[in-house]
Amino acid sequence: MPYVEYDEVGASCAECGRLFRSAEDLDAHRRESHVAARTAAPAKSRVPTLACSICTRKFYSVAALQDHTRKDHST
């Protein structure tokens, strides 16, 4: 039987689309990659309060603002 790599992929992250072999792997990924943004501010009260000083975009977190600045305003 030929080995098919993606046969074993069992779960995909709903937030970033990454694929994982098991629910446990997905769980660990979500804890590491997505939980910080959630615990920082509950979804209902999330309002973008950080404004970029270069353009008019607003962001939920300092990390997101810094990421934006790096990506969109890098020289």
Positions in the binding site for Zn ion (CB under 5 A): 13, 15-16, 52, 54-55
| Residue placing its CB nearer to Zn ion in the complex, 15 or 24 | 15
Query: What token pair was written down for 15?
Result: 């937030």
CA distance 21 to 12: 9
Nearer to Zn ion, 36 or 54 (CB): 54
| Shorter beta-carbon distance to Zn ion: residue 8 or 72 | 72
CB of 1 to Zn ion, least distance (A): 31
